[in-house]
Amino acid sequence: MDTFRVFLLMLLFFHSVTTDEHLEAFIREFYESINVHQIVVFGCWNDAGALQLSKNIMRHDTAVSFNSITPNMNLEVILKVNYYRIGVMLDLDCPLSDVVLHQFSNQLVFNESYIWLLLTTGPSVPSNRLEHLPLSIDVEMTAGIRNNNEFILYDIWNPSYRHNGLFHVIPKGRWNFRDGLINELIQYKYTRRNFNQMSLNFSITLRHQPLPDLETYITTPINPQLDSMHRYHYALVLILKDIFNFTINLHRASSWGYMRPDKTFDGILGDMAKKIVDISASPFRYRPERYDVAEFTVQTLLVRSFFIFRHPSSASLRNNFLKPFANELWWMILVVSIVYWISLLITIRIQKHYAKSNSLVVPASEATLTTVAALSQQGVADDPQIISGRIVFLSLFIWGLLLFQFYSASIVGSLLTTPPHTITTVKNLTDSDMDVGAEDVAWAPDMFRTTPIAEEKELYLKKIKPHENTPKNKFVPLLEGMGKVKKGGFAFYTESAPAYKLIKDTFHEDEICELQEIQSHPAREVTMVTAKHSPFTKLIIYGLRKIIQHGLAAHTLEIWYASRPRCPETHNSKPTAVKFEQFVPAIFLLLMGITASIFILGIEYLYFYQTERLDNSQEEYSAQATKTNPTPEPCTEDY
């Protein structure tokens, strides 16, 4: 009798060991297939069975922690490990297995960090026990139904329990000792899963009034320069909608979301913190204070902001007629001219001395006129008669000819070539006489006040920030700012998309070719965001990467973002027109000459008038004296 009992116990033990070997092999192979090497087991086995299970699995570089199920378990402590993903195995046949699921729902979140394996020997998946769990589309949960030594696997998920999603139990595959693990769901989970028309909450913020209605405004590319960034990202949301089969519950927020004094947010971020909004259709910049309330996804756009203006043809006060030569060369020309003038003066005096002429020629004036005539390539009335004077005269005119050729060639060349752009930095813009403004958007004043760039800070303080002497607001609407740019003399800070569209529609060719951009800081990366710890973050990242990879983002960008209008290559071959303000110095010089000639004419008139009157007076006096004392006639009579 004792021998029979020992034999029976040995048979039961052998059967138990064989059964555990199949279970151990299944658990080990299941988690190795997804590269998980940290497993927490919840079961109701005795200590010997748990020890045997843990020992056999841990032989294969996998850490196992066995936990008996009790009514009050602190799962936050039990499942807190320094691993991105952890395996959690639960025996659903244990009497208290629902306690684990219930406490996990209260303390933690069902997401892809926890790889669940639910085992049962029942005939089917106990959906009535699982359908009320707060599962989401990112959950990793597999149910294994044991049939002898084979396990039938099912994929369990819900698009979003919080949004009343549909509970899914999908056949996944099987495992047996002979064939090993057979996984029939080989597609990525976000490829095979969809929302089945479940509604997700999106939010968007707009600067302009959506007309005629919100849906038409953000989907129809009419006036695409208005809210381009937001409408472009909403177009990406529509593509995501088609990929994942969800519907959109769109909410319009007052702003992106800025931190209040009490450290809470308004706008879209405030709604995300309140769990009202799941995903933002408006893009966000990466800012540290936003990391606590939002999850950033994929960079979808580079936003370029810059100062744009029509570059003046002359950025300095230098006279256009003095530009061909440097200041040092002008001084040298003056010195050489004085040397020639002195040489001519000496030769003219010598010629006048030996000629003994009584002409009215003034040597200093004659030398001056000859020198000016040589410099301006004009002729003179009298040529020098002596050889030395002719040598000076000839060398002067040859020097003047060469000088005039260089000067005129430089003037003509400057009109045939594109004027150089001298205002190329923020510092140049600050030092110029141009007026500066910025687009009236929510982020612009804060950006200028908090900018770490010293040159941009200086520009803001000098030309944008309102002062007592300049109280006018420099933050103006887009249309007003670009209108001032079109008139010239005004630099406007705005984004590329709306500016380029207006330039293309309203600027002429010459105005487009004169445009200059100054980008004071690198382009800003923006992205769509989801609520903090949102189950949809990975899904949105996956969807956006597919959209970008397949070129749909680039195609959509061409619809909502205008490219920079190009200056035609033939424009550079056109001569530059001389503007009136550039010709003013010549007119001023002409008026000075006319004024000086009139003044000298008056002096000459008075001089000759007085001289003539004096001569006439003397003649009259002589005639009268002759009449009073006539000259006696000579005596002709002979005596």
Q: Parse the chain into domains and list their residue ranges.
A: 17-192, 196-301+523-563, 305-315+420-522, 327-416
Whether residue 36 contacts residue 115, with contact meaning beta carbons closer than 8 Å, is answered with: yes
Instruction: Indicate if the pLDDT at residue 215 is higher than 60.
Output: yes
Give the pLDDT score at 605.
82
Give the pLDDT score at 14.
35
Minimal CA–CA distance to 253: which of 206, 309, 290, 189?
Answer: 206
Q: Residue 347: pLDDT band by 50, 70, 90 thresholds?
A: confident
Gap between the Cα atoms of 411 and 516, Å rounded:
24
Q: Is there a shared CATH topology between the 196-301+523-563 domain and the 305-315+420-522 domain?
A: yes
Q: Residue 469: pLDDT band by 50, 70, 90 thresholds?
A: low
Homologous superfamily of 196-301+523-563:
Periplasmic binding protein-like II (3.40.190.10)
Beta-sheet pairing, 180-183 with 168-176: antiparallel
To which residue do tokens 């045997």 refer?
A: 52
Give the pLDDT score at 8.
38
SS3 label, residue 133: coil
Give the pLDDT score at 82.
66
437, β-bridge pairs? 492
Percent of the chain with pLDDT over 90: 36
Give the pLDDT score at 417.
67
Distances (CA, A) of 204 to 287, 473, 540: 19, 28, 16
CATH class entry, domain 327-416: mainly alpha
Whether residue 220 contacts residue 270, with contact meaning beta carbons closer than 8 Å, is answered with: no
Over residues 187-211, mean pLDDT: 92
Give the pLDDT score at 130.
93
Distances (CA, A) of 563 to 229, 230, 282, 461, 516: 14, 17, 21, 32, 15
Whether residue 321 contacts residue 410, with contact meaning beta carbons closer than 8 Å, is answered with: no
Instruction: Indicate if the pLDDT at residue 177 is higher than 90.
Output: no
Distances (CA, A) of 588 to 62, 333, 378, 583, 584: 94, 22, 21, 9, 6
Q: Residue 314: pLDDT band by 50, 70, 90 thresholds?
A: low
Over residues 168-176, mean pLDDT: 93
pLDDT tens digits, one per residue of 225-253: 889 999 999 999 999 999 999 999 999 99
Minimal CA–CA distance to 442: which of 284, 629, 627?
Answer: 284
pTM: 0.73
Greater confidence, 363 or 287? 287
Q: C-alpha angle 457/460/465, rounded to 5°? A: 135
Greater confidence, 156 or 389? 156
Lowest-pLDDT range of 125-129, 391-395, 413-417, 599-603 = 413-417
Beta-sheet pairing, 435-439 with 475-476: parallel
Distances (CA, A) of 555 to 310, 487, 547, 548: 31, 34, 10, 10
User: Among 3.40.190.10, 1.10.150.120, 1.20.1250.20, 3.90.1200.10, what is the CATH number of 305-315+420-522?
Assistant: 3.40.190.10
Give the pLDDT score at 553.
94
Which helix (H) or strand (E) element contains residue 462? none
Give the pLDDT score at 319.
63
Q: With 0-12 CB in 10 A as exposed, 13-18 as middle and 19+ as buried, what is 602?
A: exposed
Q: Residue 5: pLDDT band by 50, 70, 90 thresholds?
A: very low
Whether residue 527 contacts residue 283, with contact meaning beta carbons closer than 8 Å, is answered with: yes
Over residues 407-436, mean pLDDT: 80
Instruction: Indicate if the pLDDT at residue 626 is higher than 90.
Output: no
User: Among 1.10.274.10, 3.40.50.2300, 2.40.50.140, 3.40.20.10, what is the CATH number of 17-192?
Assistant: 3.40.50.2300
**Tokens at 280, concatenated:** 């933002």
Instruction: Indicate if the pLDDT at residue 121 is higher than 70.
Output: yes
Query: Where does residue 494 fall: left (phi above 0), alpha (psi -120 to 50 degrees), or beta otherwise?
Result: beta
Lowest-pLDDT range of 11-15, 382-386, 487-491, 602-606 = 11-15
Q: How many CB atoms lie within 10 A of CB 21?
A: 14
Gap between the Cα atoms of 321 and 618, Å rounded:
53
Side chain identity at residue 544, one-letter code:
L
Instruction: Indicate if the pLDDT at residue 370 is higher than 70.
Output: yes
Instruction: Indicate if the pLDDT at residue 6 is higher than 60.
Output: no
Q: What mean pLDDT, rounded, does the chain reach? A: 83
Lowest-pLDDT range of 62-66, 311-315, 401-405 = 311-315
Gap between the Cα atoms of 117 and 130, Å rounded:
13
Whether residue 300 contacts residue 526, with contact meaning beta carbons closer than 8 Å, is answered with: yes
Give the pLDDT score at 415.
65
To which residue do tokens 């892809």 refer?
A: 112
Instruction: Indicate if the pLDDT at residue 10 is higher than 50.
Output: no
Percent of the chain with pLDDT over 70: 85
Q: Which residues contact 292 (CB under 8 A, 6 or more apart)?
A: 532
